[in-house]
Amino acid sequence: MPVRFPRILFALTLATFCLLLAASTALAAKPDKYQVSVSDTYDFTGVCTFSVTVNANADIMAIHYVDQSGALTRTFNHVNEHDIFSANGKTLVGLPFSSNIEARFDSAGNMTSLTGTGIVERVPLPDGSVFQSSGRVDFLAHPDSNFILTPDHGHSGNVAAFCAALS
C-alpha cells in the first residue's frame, strides 16, 4: 500500500525482487516467505504545484506462491513504511503505517495485477491535523507515477493542506 511504497517504484522493485526469487523457489511445493528492507529517494510531481522529495523506508514480509510446476503465480507483501517529505526548505516526517501489496502473474510469468490496500500515507501537518489516505491502489493504472499519495478507491487525505505545509 503512499499504497504505501513510493508506491509504483517500490512496487515495481518488489515485483522484480519477487521474480528473481521465483527462480530459486521453482521447485517449492509450499509458499516461501522472505523479509526485505527497501530505502530510496524519489522526486514526485503532479500532486503539488512543485516537486516533492520523498525519502521512503519500508520493511517488507513477502510470500511467494507457485503452482505445481513451480511457476510464480502470486506474491503477497505486508509492508511497514515510513516516509519523509521535503520541498521548499520544509520537511514533513510521516508516521509509520502498514499496507498490503499483491501481485498476480499469468502462466507465462507476466504480471496481470499489482494492487495495494490499506494505509497509503500518514503525515502530521503543522496545524495539528494528520494527512491520511487509505484504500486501494491499482499500481498498473499509474505506469508513469513514481509515488502515489492518494488511493484510487477509498479516502484521500487533504492534499491542499499537505501541499500548503510544504510550500
148 is a domain residue: yes
137 is a domain residue: yes
32 is a domain residue: yes
Into how many domains does the chain fold?
Answer: 1
Nearest to 65 by CA among 25, 17, 35, 99: 25
Q: What is the pLDDT of residues 86-126, one digit of tens each?
A: 999 999 999 999 999 999 999 899 999 999 999 999 999 99
- Give the domain extent around 55: 7-166
90 is a domain residue: yes
Q: What is the pLDDT of residues 7-65, one digit of tens each?
A: 554 554 555 555 555 544 444 458 889 999 999 999 989 899 999 999 999 999 999 99
User: Model's pTM, two decimal places?
Assistant: 0.79
1 is a domain residue: no
2 is a domain residue: no
Q: What is the pLDDT of residues 23-36, one digit of tens each?
A: 444 444 588 899 99
Reported for 67-72, long-range contacts at CB under 8 A and 24+ positions apart, including other chains, are 67/107, 70/25, 70/26, 70/27, 70/28, 71/22, 71/26, 71/105, 71/107, 71/109, 72/18, 72/19, 72/22, 72/25, 72/105, 72/109
